[in-house]
Every structure is written in C-alpha cells, then in structure tokens.
Amino acid sequence: MAYVLQVDFKHEGPFGDEMAAAFSDLAKSINDEKGFMWKIWTENRETNEAGGIYMFETKTDAENYLTMHTKRLNGFGITNVHAKLFEINEALTTITHGPLQ
C-alpha cells in the first residue's frame, strides 16, 4: 500500500530555473531514499511557498523521510513545515487516473 506525503513551507526563493539549479543534486539524492517512488516539486512565488508531493512504498518509509527532511529544512532555516501523510484510496484513484506507481 503506497502512501502520499504532502509537504509545504514558506520559501522566499529561488523559484523556477534557479530553484532547479540549486536543488538538482538534492533531487538526485532523493531517488536513493528507502521506499521512495516519486516526488512532484511544488512552488508558488505569489504566496512564497514551496514543497512537494511524494509517493512512498510504505507508511514507515514516508515517516522516516519526513523526519529526516524536516531536520534538513530546519538546517536551511525553514521551521514552519506543514506535512500530512495519507493512505491512498486505490479504487477511487484508479477511476480518476491518479498515478499509483
């Protein structure tokens, strides 16, 4: 049963191409995290927010990543991290073409 982790926080930039350049090495490293399946990188320069939508193989993998990631964000000076962890309703998600893998 895959789990979704949604994370967002205040972020003053960089956004867009500058954000991609700043975090491409970090992005590559995330692919090696235990149980990691995929991440959508989110950003909103109007509200000064950024974050991610992640899919993990298990709840424990998602929880362990969130613990590590929150400490990492704190190290960047980001302390107001909002995170929610959810099971996926696979039957409904299949109807609406949601990516499950």
Query: Interface with its own copies by CB under 8 A: which residues?
Result: 4, 6, 8, 15-17, 19-20, 23-24, 27-28, 30-31, 36-45, 49-51, 53, 84-89, 91-93, 95-100
DSSP lists the bridge partners of residue 26 as: none
Residue closer to its own copies by CB (options 15, 64) is 15
Beta carbon of residue 84, minimum distance to its own copies (angstroms, whole number): 6
Beta carbon of residue 3, minimum distance to its own copies (angstroms, whole number): 9
Bridge-based pairing of strands 36-44 and 3-10 is unpaired
Residue closer to its own copies by CB (options 76, 97) is 97
Integer angstrom CA distances of residue 48 from 31, 75, 77? 26, 19, 15
Alpha-carbon gap, residue 86 to 72, rounded angstroms = 22
